[in-house]
Structure 1
Amino acid sequence: MSSKDEEDEIEKSSAPLIEHLIELRSRLIWAIAAFFVAFLVCFFFAREIFNLLVIPFQWATDWAGLDSEKVDLIYTAPQEFFFTQIKLAMFGGIVLAFPVIATQIYKFVAPGLYRNERRAFLPFLIASPILFLIGGALVYFFFTPMVMWFFLSMQQVGPDNEIQISLLPRVSEYLGLIMTLILSFGLVFQLPVVTTLMARVGLLSADGLVDKRKYAIVAAFVVAAVLTPPDPVSQIGLALPTILLYEVSIWSARMVERKREEERRAAEEAETSAGPAS
């Protein structure tokens, strides 16, 4: 190929590339705008949102037999609560804007997919945020009160104790604990989505997942130890749902393989019936 032909080929390919870059810029603008709006809303209501996140702490004090009306959190630096509100607004902004961000990603990728691939990908796009919300709800209504109850049980309070040791968590540390648990459980609850997608493209099989079950159980406890605070309640609380979700992933992979086999048999029967007629 001559240099002129190469230049012509480059010129032909430059237009689609520019169109893709323009499309990418448009999708990024929509995603950033959605995050910015959600960030402003969450920052405006940051105090109310933070007070809402303290409710599991109040439940834990009730479980510990303490006065839930005297739940106190502190901040030890002048700017600490302000930056905590910013961090809370960023976290809430990402959560609220995720449907818009995911939609923009899908709209950018969808034109390059076949129709059957788009139909296969869309349910997972819907299931992913739903599973994340389920994991976050589990953290809010069960595991955060359990973890705080565990920490509160270490206090030394009452007339029988000469030394009074009370829990006074900092606002930044409490928010960090909540965010860590929500992110950990939210990511772990994506396990069925990831494994099902990999099973669809043939990277995983149900039998392979069954064979690796014992390694997955060990990995679940290792990952839980890394992602959660260093206490046995939260670590076991994350490891057990992970193992359960692994079993759900095996079932989901079997369903994918069964459907693929049915489609293969239907295609073979269609070819067999169409053969004599031709």
Structure 2
Amino acid sequence: MSKKHRHDPNSLMGHLIELRNRLLKSIAAVVLLFLSLAYFANDIYHMLALPLLASLPKGTTMIATGVASTFFVPFKLTFIVAFVLAIPYVLYQIWSFVAPALYNKEKHLIAPLIVSSTLLFYAGISFAYFFVFPLVFGFFTSVTPEGVVNAPDISTYLDFVLQMFFAFGLSFEIPVAMLLLIWSGVMDRATLIEKRPYFIVIAFVIAMFLTPPDVLSQTLLAVPMCILYEIGIWLGRFYERPADPEDEQPEEKTE
């Protein structure tokens, strides 16, 4: 294979090279952000722990049961924060790779969905941190049995928080998923409206698996999912596919 053909952007090898370059740029962005934030790793973890620390009894602190937990847990969190912050740039690289293959109409549709999905993911994380965590941790602390010291392990707490962030960030993508279903023709608004009662049940089932086994956490996830479902139905009117003119034409009568 010649050098000219190997670097032809329209060839298979050219697409693979471009994909590799964009993946490397995305990885470099995450690493650069991680290195920039690594010095503040302990401060970042402390910020994450504030909702729990505010709910613990006075004089109670978190503990570290692992030998190296105090070192690795903050850096693990910092790397995840770096990845989350780099999501817009990573999505831009993905968009730049696939955009040339899309029609103009598809570009005008997909670009707003990418931006809105990113903002909704951040909104889900913010909702969990500022609204859900204070309520959930306050509830857990209030039901601590007498004689039991509530001192959570920092590693266990991080796993719990990341699970909640993922659950709420993903659930806030419901309107985007619904718009894609409507735009692609898989479903229409009428079908989604008809399936509303089933979705409410599904929302509580999903919340049961993604959140801790308590009614409060499940409700705090399921209720926003139902509200976002209604928002998706409302927005769907702007993304409905127009009817095919050929389908609207009456069939010719045969004598």
Q: TM-score, normalised by structure 2?
A: 0.88
CA drift at 1:134: 1.1
Tell me the equivalent position of 2:21: 26
Range 246-255 or range 181-190, more displaced = 246-255
Number of the residue aligned with 1:201: 184
Write out the 4+ residue segments of structure 1 that deviate beyond 4 Å after TM superposition.
11-15
Q: Deviations over 1:63-101 (max 9, x none)?
A: xxx43xx34000112112222123202211210111111
Q: Partners of 1:187 and 1:44 in 2: how far apart?
A: 29
Identity of aligned residues (%): 38
Once the two structures are TM-superposed, the CA of residue 45 in structure 1 deviates from its matched residue by 1.4
| Equivalent position to 2:38, from 36, 43, 46 | 43
| In structure 2, C-alpha distance between the alignment counterparts of 1:210 and 1:264, rounded to whole Å | 22
CA offset at residue 14 of structure 1? 11
Within 5 Å, give how 1:9-24 maps onto structure 2: 16-24=11-19
CA distance in 2, matches of 1:155, 1:97: 39
Aligned to 1:221: 204
Deviation at residue 199 of structure 1 after TM alignment: 0.9
Contact 1:46 1:85 (8 Å CA) reproduced: yes
SS in 2 for 1:60: coil
**Alignment pair present for 1:76 and 2:61:** no
2:92 alignment counterpart: 103
State the match for 1:4 in structure 2: none
Separation of aligned partners in 1, 2:29 and 2:196: 40
C-alpha separation in 1, matches of 2:32 and 2:144: 42
Once residues 32 and 100 of structure 2 are traced to their aligned partners in structure 1, the CA distance between those partners, rounded to angstroms, is 28
Alignment RMSD:
2.3
1:213–1:140 CA distance, 2 compared to 1 (3 A): same
Partner AA of 2:133 in structure 1: T
Higher helix share: 1
The change in CA–CA distance for 1:200 and 1:15 in structure 2 (over 3 A counts) is closer
2:44 maps to 1:55: no
Aligned partner letter, 1:34:
A
Mapped to 2, the partners of 1:31 and 1:121 lie a distance apart of 20
2:179–2:239 CA contact under 8 A, matched in 1: yes
Q: Flag structure 2 segments of 5+ consecutive residues without an equivalent.
A: 249-255
Unaligned runs of 5+ in 1: 1-10, 158-163, 269-278
**CA contact under 8 A between 1:40 and 1:89: conserved in structure 2?**
no
Aligned residue in 2 for 1:8: none
Of 233, 246, 251, 2:216 maps to: 233
The answer on whether the counterparts of 1:74 and 1:169 sit within 8 Å (CA) in structure 2 is yes
> Are the structure 2 counterparts of residues 35 and 264 from structure 1 closer, same or farther at C-alpha, using a change threshold of 3 Å?
same
